[in-house]
Structure 1
């Protein structure tokens, strides 16, 4: 097990290195010049050269990326002379647009994304799996047909459309919840939760539909296995057959999807944060792209990629507990 985890951690490091390098290359070949945007319209060639040197853009791309990797380990300084800004390790870069280290910006945005992700994930996992279980057990009944129709509606409806409908009805029409913004947890559980109800509901509705369909199909497949037929023939209670034997076998693909979804959302729920004007990681990434703020884009991208690959690793380890037939070698 330890050797397997060590190999996967090395693989994670390689993936993150490649992700950062690709992001650097894409921005390096973009036609727009971040230094010119920072310099403004009345910018002479001499001033532009100074701005490029101050931002470190006058160096070759490989040297820029190498300095970035050095900053992750030992920190670095940005700028020239007394005007240099210090960024302690692990340094994810320095935003000249915002005049602060990228990790400070991520530290401000990350709690917003975590709040959205954890609440929404808990809702869609519980309701999605429960709906799929009942639909599979009551196959062919009105409950199954209704759950299938609702699930297909959720799968086919875009996230932004569900969000806009929620804002229109619950926010403006009935005035039940705030429609945008974010309240810190330290401001009180009430204000914090009230601002998150709509994002939670939107993400839960869309994702629970997918989980309900997946749970139903997996359970129906497991119900046809010989060991389930044998368990029923031996007279085991149906709750034992379903809850202990069937559901455990059906959870493997669900765990895979859940791990990936959590990793992606922790990297930034871009559409949801944009619709509800919440300044999480997704919002920060969009802002960085719009401003051609390379340090922000690279920092947020690597931070997001870390959660995706880490979620993959955790899911693979979980496989060994959900399915004893899986060997982690």
Structure 2
């Protein structure tokens, strides 16, 4: 019971810290955008921009009030919805209104997020499965052929940029063997309705992302397993007569994978913010591509602000999940 109480207190404390941190991050983002040497109201003007038009754009974008007032309106919109100028109304949770696209930003994000989530989750599963497996195999066969083969994989994976590997996969695999129709490249297929179409669309983008990450995790897992295998508690387990498989599963991996949980959580959170290069190569309309288009083409401030806040929230929430996972993996964390 005492262990459960400690764990509940630890989780409650981390939840409180996460909530406070998210509020601080959201305020900081609003101040950063306010300090930028660019006037969003002027970017929405044509060459015949007049002071009256600029002021009207400023009012329409909600920039005619203080930064804290802008932030407070955003927080209120998340819980109660918000009514914008020109009669636009966005129900809760409201991330803003895009006057360029004449629709609520929440709807735009809802269309892009499943694509980014599919890409990130698929790549995450691939690189963890491949990276940890190869790392363990290399560590248990240190100095042998399998270890040297994994070193070649690590060298290729870390040396090959994502945009190069992605283009090579598109040209010499996807298009050459006509796996996906070029006109359908990047189309969204619901995995619960059309799993085959979803797999054809997302397998190669996920593999492109997973290649670089898997190489890094292979090297990291190998070094952790080798280091952990020389610890006193592993020698004690061997002295008790436990088999190598049991020692690896119950003792070595549990200690060796604890640091990997932190890195994996942060890497996954970063991908949830949008894998810009991979989405661009495979024509996927995810959060990364949406953000780039809003910055470089449409100068759509509500979308830029919302995607930035969303990406920051992913990182903060994944930090919380990693901390909780650490408490289950390593009892010393919750005891402290």
Within the candidate set 295, 313, 333, 1:306 is matched to 313
Task: Provide the C-alpha distance between the structure 1 equivalents of 2:11 and 2:236, rounded to a whole number of angstroms.
Answer: 37
2:138 is the counterpart of 1:135: yes
Cα displacement (A) at 1:184:
1.7
Q: Equivalent residue for 1:208?
A: 214
Cα displacement (A) at 1:187:
5.9
Describe the shift of the 1:22–1:265 C-alpha distance in structure 2 as closer, same or farther (beyond 3 A): same
Aligned length in residues: 326
Task: Provide the C-alpha distance between the structure 1 equivalents of 2:17 and 2:207, rounded to a whole number of angstroms.
Answer: 36
Q: Equivalent residue for 1:322?
A: 329
Describe the shift of the 1:31–1:121 C-alpha distance in structure 2 as closer, same or farther (beyond 3 A): same
Are 2:44 and 2:299, in contact at CA under 8 Å, matched by a contact in 1?
A: no
2:30 is the counterpart of 1:24: yes
Cα displacement (A) at 1:328:
5.5
Cα displacement (A) at 1:250:
0.8
Within the candidate set 122, 125, 130, 2:128 is matched to 125
Describe the shift of the 1:328–1:93 C-alpha distance in structure 2 as closer, same or farther (beyond 3 A): farther
Within the candidate set 158, 168, 180, 1:165 is matched to 168
> Is there any run of 5+ residues in structure 2 with no aligned partner, and where?
1-6
Are 1:132 and 1:215, in contact at CA under 8 Å, matched by a contact in 2?
A: yes
Describe the shift of the 1:203–1:219 C-alpha distance in structure 2 as closer, same or farther (beyond 3 A): same
Are 1:178 and 1:194, in contact at CA under 8 Å, matched by a contact in 2?
A: no
> Is there any run of 5+ residues in structure 1 with no aligned partner, and where?
none
Cα displacement (A) at 1:279:
0.8
Larger mean Cα displacement after TM superposition, 314-323 or 103-112? 314-323
Larger mean Cα displacement after TM superposition, 166-175 or 213-222? 166-175
Within the candidate set 98, 103, 107, 1:104 is matched to 107
| Aligned-residue CA RMSD (Å) | 1.9
Are 2:29 and 2:309, in contact at CA under 8 Å, matched by a contact in 1?
A: no
**1:149-180 CA-partner distances (Å, limit 9, x unpaired):** 21122122222221111112113333334563
Q: Equivalent residue for 1:188?
A: 194
**1:22-78 CA-partner distances (Å, limit 9, x unpaired):** 332333333433223323223333233223222222223332222222222322211
Q: Equivalent residue for 1:242?
A: 248
Per the normalisation by structure 1, the TM-score is 0.92
2:98 is the counterpart of 1:95: yes
Q: Equivalent residue for 2:4?
A: none
Cα displacement (A) at 1:105:
0.8
Task: Provide the C-alpha distance between the structure 2 equivalents of 1:325 and 1:256, rounded to a whole number of angstroms.
Answer: 16
**1:244-267 CA-partner distances (Å, limit 9, x unpaired):** 211111110111111112212122
Partner SS for 1:236: coil
Q: Equivalent residue for 1:73?
A: 79
Q: Equivalent residue for 2:17?
A: 11
Are 1:20 and 1:301, in contact at CA under 8 Å, matched by a contact in 2?
A: no
Task: Provide the C-alpha distance between the structure 2 equivalents of 1:52 and 1:94, rounded to a whole number of angstroms.
Answer: 14
Task: Provide the C-alpha distance between the structure 1 equivalents of 2:88 and 2:99, rounded to a whole number of angstroms.
Answer: 10
Partner SS for 1:325: helix
2:226 is the counterpart of 1:220: yes
Cα displacement (A) at 1:135:
0.3
Larger mean Cα displacement after TM superposition, 70-79 or 38-47? 38-47
Partner SS for 1:327: helix
Per the normalisation by structure 2, the TM-score is 0.90
